Structure 1
């Protein structure tokens, strides 16, 4: 997913963005760390504008910086992953001629119809969607629980079994990215800002209303362990396995069987490579586009509330109705520039910055947080997670499980089409075992460390009485978006933590939105053609427009519920595709060795002394 060459417009844009970033950054940093120096020079909603200008110009500058395209060609990257760069006069014509009309028009019409109905009949739409959502999540709970558990088992088998040795590509194919960058791209694309939104909040929520599986008293010491255990469960191996069981089949059929890079490629065993232009394939790709846009748009709407809450807590700014629109507009500029520049420029650079900020925040929290408490509770939670993993995976008791566990599994499956496709796209030249190790084990480890640190610290602050975070959440209309800020106020380096937290909100959301924009552009482009810059820009702006619309007319939670419901079909499709992949691998990939076999072969051979040999039998 690269672009060739740097246009004159991008060169001019880079020259404009750099001074904007420096000037606005100086104001923002001064306002955070030296407020007396700034005084009343910037006040009110101007802080919101300056903050958005800083993030937009800084990340936009990273996206448009030049790079050496020859390095990409030498890496042997799949040609189909390149973005077609054209002159402005050709953009509209190529956009129209290259789009698949079904995959393009159906999601656009559905979203437009939803917004019209939301405006005309808001109460009826919300009630209908809520009833459907509750019915499916409650009655279909066993399906989601079973699908995720089977996904974990399948990933475990791929990790240790013989098929993990299968290389995605020809024997001499080399990976397109170094391993650190490979992990960075997968982790930042798949997790989005949910890890920031729920980091300080989910453990507290389970602490206040404990999961029935552990039967602990609310806000008790026992509730702490149960809360952290379920946080690990919701963001650990089970969650990331949902992405991988879609990504691995796509990668195998693309790089080993020549199938197109599409979500519908999971149907290759049933339709054949030549049959992937069928109505069924287009239906799967269209559903994937809808799920992706709905999920990203509602996530943008949710994190806008969290970002604006942080600005308000720092400078007392009331954003009003304009604030969310400004935030989404600034964020849209960032991820459109990043997506249009391609993986080797904006997406890769912003993802790397994301991981650096992520690690820096975690290290600071380790340095200033309650280390003894977090270490003790984290050790207990990890042990509980390991011991209770299987029964928790199969536990389907009560409304709590439907509202939390089943909802989470459906949400992860609704994101799986775009995340799985992206995992497949960047996995060329990797072995299946490496794909699973990275997209399940490594990403889960990073997620769990984050939640243990941030969730454990918030539980310590709440349980010890240093701050009443739950009361602040209740005062803020029970919105978890506010949870992080009273937590940082109870810790040293409040300003630095708040600044890094706000930065992570923007960067995490940008790294998922730019990837989703690129993936949707590929899905909507006719088979065999690379998406044009116009297609990238259209889908990026469309995602931003949907987010702004639901913020203005309401219905972000309703749209989120609709998007989550798309997880059901993909959960079923995943199970079917895994069965077909298993038959394909069994027939075509024999002769590989499992990890157990490799370990056995490396054991030293014990030579038997002739004096100990049994006597020859006559």
Structure 2
């Protein structure tokens, strides 16, 4: 999409890079000196204090973000065309959906799709009064999974994506996360120290989130090494896997958004649906359908209640803080930069299209994935007596997904396909974020410019190094704590930016029919000259504009 230009030292934003590196050097030094003491301190500060004191706020913010997405979709704001009335889309809707699904939280869906339903149902928190493994426990677990991997997590990133897409594509704001501050402080803020600080913290938070996801993936792939080669997971195995991922996602990042990232994402979407279909047909189909139907009903009926669940009870053991609210601040860590990445795909589309492709469809996919994989593993555990709980207790959550295929036909083939899905999901998540961070580190970057290769390699290297240290010294617990530490401040930042945008957009002039006037910056602007994305060859999809 654009070409690389020769970059001079003055065209790089050193503060974005240096602050992130310095913060992680300090964190990693503390881990190397005394990992246990550092994690104990951080856990007490973040989970026991910050999450207990502020976790409720993250739940409120996320619910408001879901409402924000609905409002944008159903009001005249949804008709606003990104890039102006003459802008032509550069990606088909299917290409865009593939990129959205695979560069967002797709790797997390793959990791937890079979694990969370089993963990929740078989180890119920005491405050619920529900017996582990009971019918009520199964329904409760599916409800929680839909909450954590459905409409709410995607809303956190889509809100920032909507705001940034509008500001960058329709108001000519700079291609950086600090453009979110414009509705609050005016256009001059993007050249201020506040903007630099915002961009630097966004980079730090995203690096923690991506490195954490890469660490999760390495642990999951290590269980595959054990399954196929009989080699027990170890620090060396983790590092080798991360090194292999490093090579793959950097190769994809170097090729750019229009080449490697788009191609990999769309191939992975095909594998996603192929795997879903296989597990649905080969698994307990009737049970999956029945459980999914009842679980969706419970999720819809209880949505507001479970979205605001805080469990302030002595026997709760901070369950919502360790699960629901942990995920909320985790998504917040992704929000600014994942929203910035979304800008590159949105040109020529309306905000309603944006909500559909970036929020509604991926959320529905996540719900279906958990319904199929969760239903399969719960049926095997509860109805057929397969002891997946022992596998979880002895080998960890990372071992559950691949072991689930042992109760289905063609387990070896299914595991191989699943390994490909896991690998591509990790690659597309890391490469897209490396490209976005590289763009924000480059002063001349815009939504059409591919940043310099060495900046992509720099951020790709940071992801790999941080992930290797996490999984070597901290495991999943360490990853979760660092990500929460980085994401909590983003709750306050995101809600302020959202409030500023709402106030700002309400003041925009409207036409007689209630729709918004075209912004002066793009009202008469020509298209950027790139060829329009072709329509789908499928006649039905083509009629829908796909």
TM-score, normalised to structure 2's length?
0.89
1:459 to 378, 382, 392: 378
CA deviations 1:267-315 (Å, max 9, x no partner) are 0123333330211111111111111111111211121111111121123
* Distance of 2:147 and 2:383 partners within structure 1: 25
Residue aligned with 1:247, SS: helix
* Distance of 2:84 and 2:118 partners within structure 1: 49
Deviates more, 1:489-498 or 1:316-325: 316-325
* Distance of 1:447 and 1:120 partners within structure 2: 40
Contact 2:181 2:189 in 1 (8 A): no
* Distance of 1:577 and 1:547 partners within structure 2: 30
Cross-structure match for 1:242: 156
CA deviations 1:504-552 (Å, max 9, x no partner) are 1111111100011011111222255752111111111221122223334
* Distance of 1:427 and 1:592 partners within structure 2: 27
Cα distance, 1:182 vs. partner? 1.0
1:441 to 333, 342, 360: 360
1:375 to 289, 293, 296: 289
Contact 2:280 2:372 in 1 (8 A): yes
Cross-structure match for 2:28: 115
* Distance of 1:465 and 1:458 partners within structure 2: 10
Deviates more, 1:480-489 or 1:210-219: 210-219
Deviates more, 1:411-420 or 1:508-517: 411-420
* Distance of 1:558 and 1:592 partners within structure 2: 55
Cross-structure match for 2:17: 104
Deviates more, 1:574-583 or 1:240-249: 574-583
* Distance of 1:575 and 1:552 partners within structure 2: 35
Correspondence list, 1:246-257, <5 A: 246-257=160-171
Correspondence list, 1:109-508, <5 A: 109-134=22-47, 135-210=49-124, 215-318=129-232, 320-398=234-312, 399-476=318-395, 479-508=396-425
Relative distance call for 1:320 and 1:410 in structure 2 (3 A) is closer
Structure 2: tracts of 5 or more residues without a match? 313-317, 516-546
Cross-structure match for 1:603: none
Contact 1:118 1:555 in 2 (8 A): no
Cα distance, 1:164 vs. partner? 1.0
Q: Does 1:541 align with 2:461?
A: yes
* Distance of 2:244 and 2:131 partners within structure 1: 44
Structure 1: tracts of 5 or more residues without a match? 3-81, 87-93, 596-618
Relative distance call for 1:554 and 1:382 in structure 2 (3 A) is closer
* Distance of 2:243 and 2:89 partners within structure 1: 36
Relative distance call for 1:207 and 1:552 in structure 2 (3 A) is closer
* Distance of 1:321 and 1:174 partners within structure 2: 49
CA deviations 1:469-521 (Å, max 9, x no partner) are 00111122xx1001123311111111111111111111111110001101111
Highest RCO, 1 vs 2 (Cα 8 Å, sep ≥ 6):
2
Relative distance call for 1:256 and 1:211 in structure 2 (3 A) is farther
* Distance of 2:60 and 2:389 partners within structure 1: 33
Cα distance, 1:227 vs. partner? 0.8
Cross-structure match for 1:586: 506
* Distance of 2:115 and 2:240 partners within structure 1: 25
Correspondence list, 1:24-43, <5 A: none
TM-score, normalised to structure 1's length?
0.79
* Distance of 2:512 and 2:75 partners within structure 1: 9
Residue aligned with 1:467, SS: coil
Cross-structure match for 2:525: none
* Distance of 1:337 and 1:199 partners within structure 2: 28
Cα distance, 1:214 vs. partner? 5.7
Cross-structure match for 1:562: 482
1:572 to 492, 505, 508: 492
Cα distance, 1:428 vs. partner? 1.4
Contact 1:290 1:563 in 2 (8 A): no
Relative distance call for 1:384 and 1:520 in structure 2 (3 A) is same
Cα distance, 1:221 vs. partner? 1.6
Correspondence list, 1:503-542, <5 A: 503-526=420-443, 531-542=451-462
Cα distance, 1:96 vs. partner? 3.9
* Distance of 1:345 and 1:518 partners within structure 2: 13
Contact 1:129 1:558 in 2 (8 A): no
Contact 2:205 2:486 in 1 (8 A): yes
Residue aligned with 1:205, SS: helix
Cα distance, 1:457 vs. partner? 0.5
Contact 2:272 2:421 in 1 (8 A): yes
Correspondence list, 1:22-101, <5 A: 82=2, 84=4, 94=7, 96-101=9-14
Contact 2:470 2:478 in 1 (8 A): no
Contact 1:233 1:385 in 2 (8 A): yes
Contact 1:298 1:547 in 2 (8 A): yes
